[in-house]
Structure 1
Amino acid sequence: MTSVVSAHGRAGTAKRPQPPSCRERAERGKAARAQVPRSAHAVYEPAQDRADPVDLVEAQSAARVSELVPIRYGRMTESPFRFYRGAAAIMAADLAATPRSGITAQLCGDAHLLNFRLLASPERHLMFDINDFDETLPGPWEWDVKRLATSLVIAGRANGYTRRQRAEIVRSTVRSYRERMRVLAGMGNLDVWYDHQDTAELEAVVAEGMNRTRRKRLSHVLDKARSRDNLQAFEKLTCVVGGERTITPDPPLVTPLEDLLPDLERRQLEQNLAELVSGYSDTLQSDRRALLGQYRLADVARKVVGVGSVGTRCWIILMLGRDGEDPLLLQAKEADVSVLARYVGGSAYENQGERVVAGQRLMQATSDIFLGWKRTEGIDGRQRDFYVRQLHDWKGVLEPEGMLPDGLRRFGVLCGATLARAHARSGDRIAIASYLGRGDSFDRALPVFGEAYADQNERDHAVLTEAVRTGRVPSV
C-alpha cells in the first residue's frame, strides 16, 4: 500500500479500491440475462453486408510466405472441417454480430475440438488442455464456447451422426462447461488456479464411448503422446551429414535454409535467427534461461504447420547440449495480430508473441518451460514477432473420426470442462456462472447455433472450393 499523511499529520496507508463482492458479481451475471437472454445465443443469421469469405482468407494470406499460401488453400478445400480449422478470421467476423453477454474472459480465439490436446507438464505428467493460442485476446467468453460447439457439429456431420446425436453432443458439452463453471465459481482463487484435467479423466470419460478396437486406439494415442518428446522428434527429423547433425529436408513441409536462400541472404537469416534464440531467452524464468544456455544452435529449417497457420513463418531450431546426441528442438512461430482484435480491441502487449505467451500462460493449467517470445528482423528488413516453444513435448490429439457418437459426446464433455477452467482463471467466473444459471437455456441454444453456423461453414467451403476451381486462388 502507498504511504500517505492524514489530516492530523500521522502517516497512514492508502486503501486500494475494494473489488466487487461475490453477491455483486452474481447480480451482474443475472442482470446480463435481461440484456441478452440465454436463448438469444441460438441465433445466427449472416449479415447483409457479410464479407466474401475468400476475401477474408486472402487478406490473411497477403502477409504470409507467398509460396506456401497454395498449401493452405489446398488443405482448407479438403473438407468442411479442414476449412473450419483455417477459418477463424471468418468466424470472428460473424461472431461480432451475434449477441454478447457483456462478460469477458481471456479467449483462446480458436477453440475448435482439435485444439484440445494431450500435453506434458514440467513435472512430466500427461495433461489434457487447450493447445493453440495464436488468436488469444480478452473477449466475450461465449465466442469460444460457440466455436467449440460448432466444431463438434461439423465433426458429427463428417462422421454421419444424426442431427439428434449431434444435438446431444453439443448439449452435453455446453452443460459440462456450465456445470464446471458453477463449481469453479464456488472455489477459492488458488484452487481454481491449480485445477487441471489429467489423462485418467480422459481415459475414463472417452473410453466408455468406444468399442474395443477404438479403446485400443486411444491407448495407442496416449502411448504415442508420451513418446513424442525431443528424442523421438530428434530421431525423426534429423540426420548426420558430413559428421554434422542437421535437420532432414522434406520440402515443402520442412526446408533447410540452404535450400531457401542464396549464401549471402542465408547467412543474414542465420544471424537473425541466432539472435532470436539468444534474445528470446530473456523472457524465460532465470532457471530455464540457465538451462537453455547449456545448448548451442546447430541447425534451422522452415516448417509448414497446421491449417490456419500455413504460410506464417515458422522455424524448427535444433539445439545440441552435452554432445551430438543431447538435443533440444524448438519451434519459433510468427505471431500476427489476432483475428479477434478488429472486434474486441487490440492487445495490451505491443509484441504479438508476448500476447500469445501471456494468453497461453493465463489459460493453460501448466505451460512449456521453454515458452517465450522475441521480435526479430527479417532479411527484408521488416520486424516480426515470434513465440518459441518446444517442438514436441508429449503432444497428442484424439481424431474425431475414430469416435462413436457417445465417445465424441464424452470428449466434448471434457473439452467443455477444460474451457470453463481456462475462462475461470481470467474472467469473472461468478458472473459467468450466474449468467448461465442452473437451467439448461444456454445448453439448448448452442446446438441450434452450431447447426446454423455449420451450414454457413459448408457454404463458405464451397465458395473457396469454387475459387480454387476457377483459378481465383492457387492451391496445392
Structure 2
Amino acid sequence: MKASTIAEREARGRVAREHSKRSSHRAIGELQRDPIGLLKQSSAERVDNLLPLRYGRMAASPLAFFFGSAILQAHDLSCVHDTGLAMPICGDAHLMNFGGFATPDRQLVFDLTDFDEVSIGPFEWDLKRLSASLVLAARQMRLSRGTAESLVMTAMKSYRDRIAQYAQRGALELWYDRISFDHMAEIALTPERRRAVRRGMEKAASRTHENLLEKMTSCEGGHWIVNDAPPALFHVLGTTTLFTPEEAEAYRQGNAGKMVEQMWADYRKSMSHERRELLDHFTLQDLVFKVTGIGGVGLRCLVALLVDHMGKPLFLQLKEARPSVVGQFYGAPAVRHEGERVVYGQRMLQATSDVFLGWANGPLGRPCYVRQLRDMKLSANLELFDSDVLDGYARLCGWIVARAHAKASGQAIEIGAYIGRGEPFAEALAGYAMTYADQVERDYETFMKALRGGELVARTDEDLVADFLA
C-alpha cells in the first residue's frame, strides 16, 4: 500500500472542514434528553450503598457534577456533526484528569492520568470536554466571563500551536516526547507559575509507597494490614463494609482466596515477561475496597498491599472497567476486554506509562485494570490557583492533549490542516464552552431538584463517617 504524501494528508484535513466547518463547533445542538435518566444509566450495576455518596460528591457544585456526568456530554456530542478525524482519545479530558507522576526512570512528568472513558472518537471531543471544564472552573472561582473565555482560547491556541509543531516531527520523536516538570519550570512565563511547579515537585516527592505504608497500615505478627477508614477504605468482608449482605456473601461463597488467585494469574498474563518477574518479587499482604473520585464512586475498586523480601511496599489499584461512554455514543468498535481497552489507550496516549499497568477479571468476574496507587502522583488543587496560574495550567493542558493525540493517532498533519493557523477553531470552542457550561448548570439544577424531591439520594463523606462512628 502506497504511503500518502504530506500534501495529501494536509488535503484530507482541509476536506474535513466541508463535513464539519470550524465555526460549527460553537453549537451544542438541540438537546432532547433526560439528564436524570442518563445518570441512572451510568449508575447501574455500581455498589448500591455507594450511590448516595456518588451523588453527594456531585452535588458539591456544577463543576463536581460535570466531573461525575461524562455520560451527558458524550451523549450531547453525539448529537452534532463531528470532524470525522477519529483516533484514540482520552474521552474524559477535563482539567482535573491531568497530573504529575514518576516515570520508570524516576523523572517527574505531567500528562493525562485518567483513561476510564478512552475510546476511538473525534479528536475535538477531548477539547470540548476540556474547554467546558475550564469555564466551569472559572465560574466556581468567580472569575469574569472574559477571563473564562480567555482560558479556553489559551488552551485551544496552545493545542493548535503544538499540533502544528508535532506535524513536523517523525514517529520516534513523537513517541519519545514527554513534558517534564523541569521543562515546565523552565518555560513558565511568570514567577508565580514557576513557584507552583516547584511546589508540585516537592509535594510529589513525598508521595511514595513507603509514605503510604506509614499512614494507612499496621503490622500484626509480621503481616501487614490496611486499616479500615470508611467510606474511603474498607475490607469487603469486614465489619465496616459498605457492601450489602448479599454482595458480601457472594465474596464469601465464592471463596475470596481462590478468586484473588485467579485474578492475579490473569493480571500476570497481561504483563510483559520482565515485568512479571518484577511483580514476583512481591507477596500479597492485604486487599481492601477503595472509593475513588467522583465519577468512579460505586465502581469496584480494590487496593492490594504487597511487600518485597526487604519489607518494601507496593500498592496496586485494581479498578473496575466499564464500557466507555464515548464508545457507547460514538459507536466505536467492540473491544475484547474493557480493562485491556483502558490499558491500551493509556499506553497509546501517555508519554510513558506505569510499569505495573495491566488488566484482569476481578474477584466476581468484572473486567478491571491495574496500576500503581501512588508513585509520586500529583493532581491539581483549584483552591490554590489564581487566574494567572489557571491560565498557565490551561496552556499546559492544551499542550498535553496535542501531544497525546499526535502520538496515539499519527494524525497531527491532518488535525493541524483542519484547525489551520488562525483563531476560528479556538473561537468556536470558546463559544461552545460558554454555552455548554450554561447547559451543565441547568442540568445541575435538575439534578439538585431530583435530590430535593427524593428521586435520588445524596449523602456526604461526613454522613457516612458519622454512621460508622455511631
Aligned pair partner of 1:341 in 320, 324, 327: 327
Instruction: Report the TM-score, using the length of structure 2 for normalisation.
Output: 0.92
Letter in 1 for 2:233: V
Mapping for residues 206-225 of structure 1, pairs under 5 Å? 208=190, 210=192, 218-225=197-204
Q: Give the match for residue 279 of structure 2.
A: 292
Question: How far does residue 400 in structure 1 lie from its aligned partner after superposition?
Answer: 2.4
Aligned to 2:18: 34
Report the equivalent of 1:4: none
Instruction: State the partner residue of 1:5.
Output: none
Report SS of the residue matched to 1:455: helix
- TM-score, normalised relative to structure 1: 0.91
Q: What is the alpha-carbon distance in structure 2 between the residues aligned to residue 264 and residue 156 of structure 1?
A: 45
Please name the residue that 1:273 is paired with. Answer: 260
CA shift at 1:169, angstroms? 1.0
* Aligned counterparts, 1:83-122, within 5 A: 83-122=65-104
AA partner of residue 328 (structure 1): L
Q: Which amino acid aligns with 2:23?
A: S
From 307, 315, 319, the equivalent of 2:306 is 319
Tell me the secondary structure at the aligned position of residue 340 of structure 1: helix
Aligned to 1:366: 352
Aligned partners of 2:68 and 2:165: how far apart in 1? 33
- Does the Cα contact within 8 Å between 1:276 and 1:374 map onto a contact in 2? yes
- Cα offset, 1:375, TM superposition: 1.9
What is the Cα-based RMSD across aligned positions, in Å? 1.8
Change beyond 3 A, Cα 1:355–1:272: same
Give how far 1:438 is off.
Answer: 0.9
Aligned residues: 450
3-state SS of 1:186 partner: coil
Q: Is the 8 A contact 2:267 2:360 kept in 1?
A: yes
Q: Is the 8 A contact 1:106 1:136 kept in 2?
A: yes
Deviates more, 1:158-167 or 1:132-141: 158-167
| Structure 1 alignment gaps of length 5 or more | 1-16
1:351 corresponds to 2:327: no
Deviates more, 1:457-466 or 1:144-153: 457-466
8 Å Cα contact 2:120/2:327 also seen in 1: no
Whether the 8 Å contact between 2:237 and 2:252 is mirrored in structure 1 is: no
Q: Moved runs in structure 1, 4+ residues, more than 6 A?
A: none
Q: Which residue number in structure 2 is paired with residue 19 of structure 1?
A: 3
Q: Which residue of 2 aligns with 1:329?
A: 315
Residue aligned with 2:366, SS:
strand
State the match for 2:431 in structure 1.
Answer: 448
Aligned to 2:412: 429
Residue identity matched to 1:273 = V
Q: Does 1:465 align with 2:452?
A: no
Distance in 2 between the 1:267 and 1:435 partners?
A: 54
Note if contact 1:57-1:89 (Cα within 8 Å) is conserved in structure 2: yes
Rg comparison, structure with higher value? 1
Segments of structure 2 that go 5 or more residues without pairing to the other structure are 242-247, 460-470
Within 5 Å, give how 1:231-246 maps onto structure 2. 231-246=210-225
**What's the CA shift string for 1:81-127, capped at 9, x where partnerless?**
11111011010000111231111121100000111100111000000
TM superposition shift of 1:281: 1.1
Provide the C-alpha distance between the structure 1 equivalents of 2:305 and 2:332, rounded to a whole number of angstroms.
Answer: 34
Q: CA deviation at 1:445?
A: 1.0
Q: Relative to 1, partners in 2 of residues 1:62 and 1:263: Cα closer, same or farther, differing over 3 Å? A: closer
> Aligned partners of 2:101, 2:150: CA distance in 1, in Å?
28
Cα pair 1:209 1:406 within 8 Å, conserved? no
Code of the residue aligned with 2:29 in structure 1: it is E
Contact 1:354 1:373 in 2 (8 A): yes
Amino acid at match of 2:224: R
